[in-house]
Every structure is written in structure tokens, then in C-alpha cells.
Chain A
Amino acid sequence: MPFSSADLAAIGLTLRLAGTTMVLLLVLCTPLAWWLAHTPSRWRGPVSAMVALPLVLPPTVIGFYLLVTLGPNGPMGQFTQWLGLGTLPFTFWGLVVGSLIYSLPFAVQPLQHAFEAIGQRPLEVAATLGAGPLDRFFTVALPLARPGFITAAILSFAHTVGEFGVVLMLGGNIPGVTRVVSVQIYDHVEALEYTQAHWLAGGMVLFSFVVLLGLNLTRRRIPSMVQ
């Protein structure tokens, strides 16, 4: 067995974190992406820039600010304590919050592009046929935007799997709770356990390649299915 039980725990935790983050991001980002695709508001620019921030910020910046704001003396930490939830650093849900921010653009941008690609025309046609706004969204826009949803799901999942800096700063390296694969690899390398590091790191390379290959294939197939 090339993987120790600690490695397997890290793999399981990573998949759980990435899955949770992906589902939450799709739910949260759909309205946001819809708004960004259609609003004439002057806030569109600043909000777009905010959404794209995690693309350019070093994970250490995100990790550092989360550690401070989610901590017992930070505003978010005081809020979560007031809610009776305690503080989020060193917990699974703390990592989820970090991942939501870290992977946000990877969910919002494909969705926004998909909504923009549909254009106004199909929605207007549906409106003339008597479809209300919600009906138009669920029966016209959502099916047409399917490729965008698939891309957003795959990218936000894969990007969360690849997360390292935020987890390192916010996680506390607790086995089964916050020690994800990337941190486990880091520990192996620092402890000079190169064989174990190779198994996990090689697995990550293979996983990422398969994900991107799959994404490429779905991108080619889906448009023809839609038309």
C-alpha cells in the first residue's frame, strides 16, 4: 500500500472540502453571475474586480486576513461567537470559508460568460410566449448555460483540491480535520519522506491532468448537445 492511513485521511478530507466548496459556490455564485451578466449598474466594475481578486492575491494574504478577521478578536470571529458557533480557524468550516473565497472566480466567471453568451434574445422570445421571470430563468437560461455550470463545477472543485497556502495559515494541520493533501505533501517533503511525497504528489499531477482533459472533452461535446 503506497498510501498510509494518514495519507488516505488527507485525501478523503480534501475531496470532502472540495465537494462542499463546489456545491456552495454553485449555489452562491449563480445569482451573482446572473447579476453581473445583466446589470447596467455602475457597481458592476468594482464587483467584478472584487470577484477576480483571489486570482491575483497571494494565498498568504487571504490566509493572513482570514486568520485575523475570523479569530476571536476579529469582527467575523466576534460575529460567529455571538452566533454560538465559536471561531472558525482550525475547523473544517473555516477551511470551507477560505476555499469559497479562494475558488470564487473559478465559479463566477464561467457562469457569467455562459449567461452572457445566451444573450437577451431567447429570454425575450420566452417572455413574449408568456413566461414569467422565474420561468424564463429555470426553463430557458439554466439549460442553455449548462456548459458554464459544468466548467464552474469542475474548476472550483479542482482549484480547491490544489489549495495550499490558505489551509496552511488557517488550518492548524489537524489530522482528519484540516490536514489536506497539499499540506500532507509539504509535511512529507519537510520530513524528508520523499517516497510518500512522490506517491501523493504524483497522484495530484495525474488527477489534475485528468480533470483538465475531461474539461476539454466536455467543452467540445456540450455545445453540440445544446444546439
Chain B
Amino acid sequence: MFKALAVVGFAFATLQAAHADQVSVAVAANFTAPMQKIAAAFEADTGHKAALAFGATGKFYAQITNGAPFQILLAADDTTPAKLEREGKAVAHSRFTYAVGTLVLWSAQPGYVDAQGAVLKTGDFKHLAIANPKLAPYGLAATQVMDKLGVTAALTPRLVQGENIAQTYQFIATGNASLGFVALSQVMADGKITSGSAWQVPTNLYEPIRQDAILLEPGKDSAAAAALLKYLRGDKARAIIQSYGYSF
């Protein structure tokens, strides 16, 4: 009996210790690739562990307000973290912009998208994929671009919507949609477009996609969470973030 209790107590103690070193992070889908790199560097540099969950910012908001134990949110926008702060679900004044996203018109076929994006007006494609504008900032930005270019009416019948930017990428990568609007970070590595063809949309055609990070209530006293937020603003993380086409 005594021995069993001791074992349980020991297990509990180690669990506690392990817990203190781990930070759970909800990450916007568009930031998947850079965050995986940053987390690996963070773990190597600090010894803390980062458990990452990827998905739509709106979904994370619903989960967090319903008690999901995420400690940090890396959102795809700046409104969701602000809302969480107002509602007392996040630590006040912990909010900052970790990246400014870039929108890109991308096709999996090389040479399909021209450098001026003229294909939007002239192209004979059947489907143009965007992220759901109601749920995803990159989807909203895509609709702003189409509005500015005056092609919304012509393109609306051809739109297919991904639930988030990752699914939108999937539609294009499998060839089911000839082209679509995704995050530059999804098709760029080390400063180069990795496959297919792309038009980096000029930033005057859409509202800046400011992506804010925030410390959530469950992460208030976590050393690992504080360390990760600091790490995100450090030179090493910023270099990684920039290599995926984000600005600051």
C-alpha cells in the first residue's frame, strides 16, 4: 500500500515537473511550417518543450472560450487576440504582432500564374480556391484583392472555399483548383517559391494581415510560455519568420 502510494506520488511529481517545462500553443494554419522550425530551435536552445496544435483561428477562439488549456495563441489576425484580452481569457498587455502575412496567388503548375496576376482576368480556369472569408483573414484579404481588381463578379461562380488556408492549399496542390490565394509562407521556404508558379500580391491591394500572439490565462504562470513569447521576438525566430515571406 505504502509502496503503491509512493509510486503514484513519484509519478505525479515527475508529471508536474514535465508539465512546467511544456507550453501548449495554438497556431494559425498559415504559420505551420515556420512554427515547426521555431519550436525545434526553441527546444534546442531552452530545453522547454512546445506542443503545437494547428488550425483555424476562429476554431481556436471557440475552444479557448470554452476552456481549452492552450497557453499561447498565435492567431492569423489581430482581432481575435484583442477580443480574448477584452473578455479576460488572456493576460492583459501580453499581445504583440509576431508576423505580418503576405498573400500570394499560387498554382501548382509551373508557368501558370504570371508575375502581374493577369491570369485572374484572362485565365480560362474552372476553380479559384480561397479560404473561407468569414473565418480566415487570408480569405478576407483575397476578397479585397478581387474587389480592388474589379473581378469579383466574374470570379464568384468559380470560387471554391477551404475551411482554412491549409485546406485551400490542399485544393490547389491536388490540382482540383488550378489556382488560388494562399499564404506566401505555405509556398515559400528559404526565401524562394518551392513549387508551381505564384504572384505575390502587392500589399496596397489588401488590408495588412497582422498576426498577433497572446498569452492565455492557463499560461499565466508558465516559465516555458514566457520563454517562447520572448523567443518569438528574438533574432533567430525572426530570421526564420522572414525566410517564409512574412514581414514585421
Contact = CB atoms under 8 A, between A and B. Distances in A.
A190 B59 contact: yes
Contacts of B194: none
A172 B175 contact: no
Nearest to B56: A190
Contact of A168 (B61, B62, B163, B174): B163
A172 B160 contact: yes
A191 B126 contact: no
Nearest to A94: B176
A72 B163 contact: no
Contacts of B62: 189-190, 192
Interface residues of B, number: 23
A71 B175 contact: yes
B129 interface: yes
B161 interface: yes
Contact of A90 (B127, B135, B167, B170): B127
Given A67-B174, A72-B175, A90-B127, A190 B160 contact: no
Contacts, number: 60
Interface string B20-62: 0000000000000000000000000000000000001011011
Interface in A186-204: 186-187, 189-192
B61 A192 contact: yes
B135 A172 contact: no
Given A187-B134, A191-B135, A73 B174 contact: yes
Given A168-B163, A190-B56, A87 B176 contact: yes
A119 interface: no
How many chain A residues sit at the interface, stated as a range, is 20 to 34
A75 B2 CA distance: 64
A86 interface: yes
Interface in A53-111: 67-68, 70-74, 86-87, 89-90
Nearest to A72: B175
Given A173-B160, A174-B161, A72 B134 contact: no
Nearest to A64: B170
Contact of B58 (A86, A174, A190): A190
A176 B63 CA distance: 29
B174 A172 contact: no
A172 B127 contact: yes
Contacts of B132: 173, 187, 190
B171 interface: yes
A140 B132 CA distance: 53
A92 to B, nearest CB: 13
Contacts of B167: 168-169
B157 to A, nearest CB: 9
Interface centre among B56, B58, B61, B176 (most CB of A within 10 A): B176
Contacts of A74: 174
Interface in A161-187: 168-169, 172-174, 186-187
B58 A90 contact: no
A174 B163 CA distance: 11
A52 to B, nearest CB: 27
Given A173-B161, A190-B62, A71 B126 contact: no
Nearest to A188: B134
A173 B139 CA distance: 13
A86 B160 CA distance: 16
B159 interface: yes
Contacts of B59: 190
Interface in B164-205: 167, 170-171, 174-177
B159 to A, nearest CB: 7
Interface string B51-81: 0000010110110000000000000000000
Interface of B: 56, 58-59, 61-62, 126-127, 129, 132, 134-135, 159-163, 167, 170-171, 174-177
What 7 pairs between A and B have smallest CB-CB spacing? A172-B160, A173-B161, A190-B58, A72-B175, A89-B176, A71-B174, A71-B176
Given A67-B171, A174-B159, A190-B135, 10 more contacts: A67-B176, A73-B175, A89-B171, A172-B162, A174-B161, A189-B62, A190-B62, A190-B163, A191-B58, A192-B62
